Amino acid sequence: MPADDRTSRLALPAPIVRQEFRRRLLAWYRKHGRDLPWRRTRNPYRILVSEIMLQQTQVDRVVPKYKQFLKKYPTLKALAAARVRDVIRIWYPLGYNIRPRRLHAIARESVAQYGGTLPNDEATLRSFKGIGAYTAGAVLSFAFGRRAAILDTNVARVMYRVFVGAGDPRSHALRRHLWKLSEGLLPRRHVFDFNQGLMDFGATVCTARRPQCRPCPLAHICRTGPIDGRLAGQRKK
Q: Model confidence over 3-59: pLDDT tens digits?
A: 445 545 678 999 999 999 999 999 999 999 999 999 999 999 999 999 999 999 999
State yes or no: is 122 an active-site residue.
no
Please report the pLDDT score of residue 227 as a whole number. Answer: 41
Q: Are 178 and 160 in contact (CB under 8 A)?
A: yes
Q: Where exactly does CATH 1.10.1670.10 map onto the chain? A: 3-34+149-221
Alpha-carbon 189 to chain mean position: 18
CA distances from 104 to 75, 86, 94 (A): 11, 10, 15
Average pLDDT, the chain: 92
Residue 211's contacts (CB-CB under 8 Å, 6 or more residues apart) are 161, 205, 225, 232, 233
The CA distance from 101 to 104, in Å, is 5
**First CA to last CA distance, the chain:** 11
Mean pLDDT of 97-124: 97
Q: Which fold has domain 43-142?
A: Endonuclease III; domain 1 (1.10.340)
What is the pTM assigned to this prediction?
0.90
Q: Residue 86: which H helix or E strand, with range?
A: helix 84-91
The dihedral over CA atoms of 56, 60, 62, 68, expressed in degrees to the nearest 10, equals -170
3-state secondary structure of 33: coil
CA distances from 184 to 113, 136, 177, 180 (A): 33, 17, 10, 6
Whether the per-residue pLDDT at 115 is higher than 70: the answer is yes
Q: Are 33 and 197 in contact (CB under 8 A)?
A: yes
Mean pLDDT of 191-213: 96
Mean pLDDT of 161-168: 93
Alpha-carbon 217 to chain mean position: 20
3-state secondary structure of 135: helix
Buried b (16+ CB within 10 A) or exposed e, 153-192: ebbbbbbbbbbbbbeebeeeebeebbbbbbeebbbeeebe
Please report the pLDDT score of residue 158 as a whole number. Answer: 97
Q: Where exactly does CATH 1.10.340.30 map onto the chain? A: 43-142
Task: For Cα atoms 32, 37, 39, give the angle at the middle one, nearest 5 degrees.
Answer: 60
Choose the catalytic residue: 20, 51, 109, 183.
51
Domain 3-34+149-221 = CATH 1.10.1670.10 = yes
